[in-house]
């Protein structure tokens, strides 16, 4: 009889579940999922941060819940079950934001609701949580959420700094720069510029990890 060796909570394999999505399996730059919200909410750092946290919470817990009940889900209605779980979590997050960070919730407006349709979620549920144990799924959710988060924060940082001269709402560009003729870049606040920035991140990433480039 085969004795299954108990895997430690943070075995090398489990750690990979978190670190891979940060780089070689990043949801935005490699899987190219969740682009729309990444472009829409990153004009300022604060909404980007709240969006990032919200997404980490939703991916982690939807992965966990779906993985826990994966053996009982009738395959014919599995997408509906997944959607219900995701929608419930998103509504909870939305209600929490409305109650405790109202201003940010107003800025994010429709985008929190749109987490429901964020491709990262359904992608991870179908590809990972339906076939893996709860703990691994939870880690996978956190990993992918964080992978999404750091791109959002990087974009938010660059766009707020050069677009508005502030960070987290605080003025950081010295007044002396403006007196010398420096101007905030209006273009960088618009979504197309965010796409170009994502492109630059992808460029840097691929030139550092050639394994990501298609051979063909």
Partner 1 sequence: MYSNSYVFRYAAIMVILVAAVLSAMAMLLKPAQDKNVAVLKMRSILAAANIEASAENAIELFDKYIVEEDALSPKGDVIGVYRNQKLEKGDLRPFEINLKEELYKQSKGNEYELPLYIADINGKKLYIFPLLGRGLWGQIYGNLALEADFNTVAGSMFGHDKETPGLGAEIQNTEFEVQFIGKKIFDGSGKFTSIKVLKGASKILTPEQLVHGVDAISGGTITSNGVSDMLQSNLTNYLEFIKKQNIN
HSE toward the beta carbon, residue 52, CA cutoff 13 A: 23
Beta carbon of residue 103, minimum distance to partner 1 (angstroms, whole number): 6
Nearer CB in complex with partner 1: 94/126: 94
Q: Judged by CB, which is closer to partner 1: 77, or 172? A: 77
Least distance to partner 1, CB of residue 31, Å: 27
Which lies closer to partner 1 via its Cβ, residue 125 or residue 139? 125
DSSP, collapsed to helix, strand or coil, labels residue 82 as helix
193-201 — which CB contacts under 8 Å span 24+ positions?
193/159, 194/38, 194/39, 194/42, 194/43, 194/155, 194/159, 195/35, 195/39, 197/154, 197/155, 197/158, 197/159, 198/28, 198/29, 198/35, 198/38, 198/39, 198/151, 198/155, 201/29, 201/151, 201/154
Least gap, CB of 128 to partner 1 (angstroms): 21
Backbone φ and ψ of 167, nearest 5°? -135, 125
Q: By the 8 A CB rule, do 151 and 38 touch?
A: yes
Q: Which is nearer to partner 1, 81 or 152 (CB)?
A: 81
Rank residues 43 and 146 by Cβ distance to partner 1 and give the closer one.
Answer: 43
Instruction: Compare residues 32 and 92 and give the one whose CB is closer to partner 1.
Output: 92
Minimum Å distance from CB 180 to partner 1?
25
Min dist CB 111 to partner 1, Å, is 11
Nearest distance from residue 2's CB to partner 1, in Å? 29
Please tell me the distance from the alpha carbon of residue 80 to that of residue 171, in angstroms, as a whole number.
Answer: 46
Q: Binding residues for partner 1, per CB under 8 A?
A: 72-77, 80-81, 84, 88, 91-92, 95-96, 98-100, 102-103, 106, 109-110, 190
Residue 153: both structure tokens together? 């924060």
């Amino acid at each position: 009889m085969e004795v299954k060796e108990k895997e430690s909570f943070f075995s090398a394999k489990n750690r990979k579940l978190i670190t891979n999505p940060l780089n070689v399996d990043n949801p935005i730059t490699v899987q190219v999922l969740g682009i729309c919200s990444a472009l829409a909410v990153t004009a300022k750092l604060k909404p980007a941060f709240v969006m990032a946290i919200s997404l980490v919470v939703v991916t982690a817990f939807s992965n966990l819940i779906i993985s826990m009940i994966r053996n009982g889900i009738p395959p014919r209605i599995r997408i509906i079950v997944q959607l219900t779980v995701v929608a419930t979590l998103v509504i909870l997050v939305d209600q929490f934001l409305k109650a405790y960070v109202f201003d940010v919730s107003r800025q994010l407006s429709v985008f929190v609701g749109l987490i429901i349709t964020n491709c990262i979620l359904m992608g991870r549920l179908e590809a990972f949580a339906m076939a893996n144990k709860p703990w691994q799924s939870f880690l996978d959710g956190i990993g992918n959420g964080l992978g999404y988060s750091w791109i959002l924060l990087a974009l938010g940082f660059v766009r707020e700094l050069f677009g508005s001269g502030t960070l987290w709402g605080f003025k950081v560009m010295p007044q002396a720069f403006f007196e010398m003729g420096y101007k905030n870049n209006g273009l960088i606040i618009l979504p197309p510029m965010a796409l170009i920035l994502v492109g630059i991140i992808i460029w840097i990433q691929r030139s550092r990890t050639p394994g990501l480039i298609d051979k063909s």
